[in-house]
Structure 1
Amino acid sequence: MKKVYHLDADEVPNRVIIMGDPQRVINLSLLLENPVEISKSRNLFIYKGYYNNKEVALASHGIGGPSAAIVIEELIKLGANVLIRLGTVGSLKKEIDVGDVIIPTGASYWHGGAGLGMYFNNICPPTNPSYDLVYDLIKEINNNQIRYHVGSIFSSDSFYAEKDYIDILIKLNFIGIEMECATLFAISNLRGVKSACSLVTSNNLIKGTKGDYNDVVKRIAKIILNVITSN
């Protein structure tokens, strides 16, 4: 009998990198030593393997807060206690270019959204990362000489409605917009596990620019792997 409702795995390593795109999980699994697919239910792929002689997992959480909430909860039930999201983000600052990295120090969301509306009984939950992971990510990114920015981001529920709210988010001084970080932070704080996010800028919403950022994604994946296997 399955231990959880949606994922096939019986257990996962305690260190997990989560991503929205299942194909990204498949591609980056090649960075691991002896990668093994342990779940593919609903195309939410999970691979486990070794990096720096420590067991880790890569998992897909799908798109948006509700999907991410399900996967995060089930990964925690299966043994995860350190989760770092590797994702993409739209820049809300002129100076944050495609390929730059954003390390969120907090994430906001519409009240009742992000898949969290039934969790907290109208109490606004903390949506901050674990600062030791943030510190380690910044240190490792500096060592690899990648441009990065630190600040607050906004986690959106509706990708195609975002354009109507960009001006408001800019005035509120958010530096980027994506869809899942607030969900990760809130549930991690609730369940007593560590989490953080490292986001690669896919487009600049101020300048209307896009570009190729896949090489940076691979570099950041290696950085996250170094961080989660350092202790």
Structure 2
Amino acid sequence: MTGDSEDPNADVQYHLEVGPEDVADTVLLPGNPERLEKIVTHWADHEVRAHHREYRTATGTYEGTPISVTSTGIGSPSAAIAVEELARVGCDTFIRVGSCGALQSEMDVGDLVITTGGVRQEGTSDEYVREDYPATADHEVVSALIAAAERLGYDYHTGVTMSADSFYAGQGRPGYDGFEAAGSEELVDQLRDANVKNIEMEASAIMTLANLYGLRAGAVCSVYANRETGEFRTEGESRAAETATLATHLLAKMDDVKREAGVDCWHAGLSLEDV
């Protein structure tokens, strides 16, 4: 316990300022608070429930499915706080919606990357569990994101994501006045050779915490830059938001089918053809 002045188990959470009645079971997690308005344009309705620091939360519906969004700010430390406090008020599924740098030459700016697992180069998850614990996306979230991208006709890639703690040195970019961190020149090449698909800053911590707590998590990011070709454009943000929104609806339907079939996990023998 931390004392009455800052009890993290209170009904209204200390950083997010949300309670159980403010959020749906599934929450989309963009970094930028301004991205919230772009996400909710895909919903039937929404209401902003809280805005404190970098954390802005709205809840609404899509095709009758309750859905929430909470911005996390930049980086894994603040994203972990969001997962912690949203889990405390009953949320059980988290989908990071963001932007990224692609590492493979065939990945175009504007494409989507659906994460299947993460390289934990961020330090936040190290505070929770040993460094060789894997950051893996929930297979149901991955399946829903793929199904959504397919239905929407968006180009996408699946694979391993590296999450860094630094936008500059930690991603192999020069720092101020040309500073280069040790190993930064080789970093991108090493990741590319290991078939890592993209770099961003939050996914591995979100997935690690979700796995530790028995929750579901995944990530879909739009490619803003290709580190192999040097191309850069802020493109595809709406595609990631729309894909994550539809995936939330599909996850709810998958859960309905599981209940009807009397099974705990989604598998290939079940169908969403009529959803």
Give the structure-1-normalised TM-score: 0.91
Match of 2:157 in 1: 149
Aligned 8 A contact 1:28 1:221 in 2: no
Query: Residue 198 of structure 1 corresponds to which residue in structure 2?
Result: 220
Structure 1 residue 224: deviation in Å?
Answer: 3.0
Q: 2:50, 2:58 within 8 Å by CA — same for their partners in 1?
A: yes
Q: Secondary structure of the residue that 2:106 maps to in structure 1? A: coil
What SS does the corresponding residue of 1:45 show, helix, strand or coil? strand
Pair 1:224 & 2:247 matched? yes
- Amino acid of the structure 1 residue aligned with 2:209: I
* RCO higher in structure (CA 8 A, sep ≥6): 1
Q: One-letter code of the match for 1:107?
A: G
Looking at structure 1, the residues matched to 61 and 120 of structure 2 have their Cα atoms a distance apart, in angstroms, of 35
Gaps of 5+ in 2: 1-9, 173-183, 256-275
Alignment of 1:1-231 (within 5 A): 3-11=12-20, 12-110=23-121, 113-120=122-129, 122-161=130-169, 162-163=171-172, 164=184, 165-211=187-233, 212-230=235-253, 231=255
Sequence identity percentage: 28
Q: Quick one: which amino acid aligns to residue 59 of structure 2? A: K
SS at match of 1:94: coil
Which structure is larger by alpha-carbon Rg, 1 or 2?
2
CA contact (8 A) 1:90 1:176 kept: yes
Task: Indicate if the aligned counterparts of 1:82 and 1:228 stay in contact, CA closer than 8 A.
Answer: no
Q: Distance in 1 between matches of 2:76 and 2:168?
A: 15
> Which residue in the other structure is 2:272 paired with?
none
> Is the partner of 2:58 in helix, strand or coil?
strand
Q: CA deviation at 1:27?
A: 2.7
Q: Is the 8 A contact 2:220 2:240 kept in 1?
A: no
Q: Which moved more, 1:56-65 or 1:167-176?
A: 167-176
Unaligned runs of 5+ in 1: none
Maintained 8 Å contact 1:66/1:115: yes
Distance of aligned partners of 1:50 and 1:134 in 2 relative to their CA distance in 1, 3 Å threshold = same
1:45 CA drift (Å): 0.4
Q: Give me the whole-angstrom Cα distance separating, in 1, the residues matched to 2:60 and 2:30.
A: 16
* Runs of 4+ displaced beyond 4 Å: none
Alpha-carbon offset, residue 30 of structure 1: 3.0
Cα displacement (A) at 1:133? 1.6
Q: Sort the Cα spacing of 1:98 and 1:123 in 2 relative to 1 into closer, same or farther, 3 A.
A: closer
Q: For this pair of structures, how many residues does the alignment match? A: 228
Amino acid at match of 1:177: I
